[in-house]
Chains A and B, each alone.
Chain A
Amino acid sequence: DQQVKQNSPSLSVQEGRISILNCDYTNSMFDYFLWYKKYPAEGPTFLISISSIKDKNEDGRFTVFLNKSAKHLSLHIVPSQPGDSAVYFCAASVWSQNFVFGPGTRLSVLP
């Protein structure tokens, strides 16, 4: 049973618009959530994270929102740029131990 789900395998967005990537989880013990970006044939790179004591964390164009009651988090990218085209993984952990990754969402930002 998948503990971390990303129900949209792919997403296309026009350059300059907002990209919203969604992630749902089932384990209420998760207390730390992360987003990674991955290009083909490369390792994932850390983007942004949020702990369960917060509901929002911002870093430049990237904002992560956490809704604990709905067990849902989302990554907003504003404005989207062609270089943002990649696969985005959501990950969750309990006290930073044994991260569980979602299946990923492929984002395509169209010029």
Chain B
Amino acid sequence: DGGITQSPKYLFRKEGQNVTLSCEQNLNHDAMYWYRQDPGQGLRLIYYSQIVNDFQKGDIAEGYSVSREKKESFPLTVTSAQKNPTAFYLCASSNGRGQGLYNEQFFGPGTRLTVL
């Protein structure tokens, strides 16, 4: 089955610790994205990557880092510099540029991170 997986579903960390959230897709999509959702709010873009070994900051990149060493994987590290890390994190992917004019994003199930 093609899709996007995020693990774990729930994650608890102590304040001051870095934590890495996993995102894997087998849809052969070029583009991958990380969003954050806070209660009662929409999705805010953290980082995105249109191609392997390249990524750009989104609207709220401070305190986060990413890597894109493989097409299938786009892990997100929440560093201790992120002031309010407790949130629901969503990974998404889509066909990239040159794969058709209009491409929807497909989302993973999300990871709820709680920093104690």
Binding site for B on A (CB under 8 A): 6, 9, 32, 34, 36, 41-46, 49, 51, 89, 91, 95-99, 101-104
Please, how many residues of chain B have a CB less than 8 angstroms from a CB on the other chain? 31
Contact of A96 among B45, B88, B103, B107 (CB under 8 A): B103
Given A42-B110, A43-B109: A89 and B104 interface contact (C-beta under 8 Å): no
Given A41-B88, A98-B48: A46 and B42 interface contact (C-beta under 8 Å): no
Q: Which residues of A contact B26 (CB under 8 A)?
A: none
Per the bound structure, the CA–CA distance linking A49 and B95 in Å amounts to 15
Q: How many A-B residue pairs have CB under 8 A?
A: 61
Asked if residues B43 and A96 are in contact (CB atoms below 8 Å), the reply is no
Q: Is B71 an interface residue (CB 8 A)?
A: no
Per the bound structure, the CA–CA distance linking A51 and B104 in Å amounts to 11
Q: Which residues of B contact A103 (CB under 8 A)?
A: 40-42
Asked if residues A43 and B90 are in contact (CB atoms below 8 Å), the reply is yes
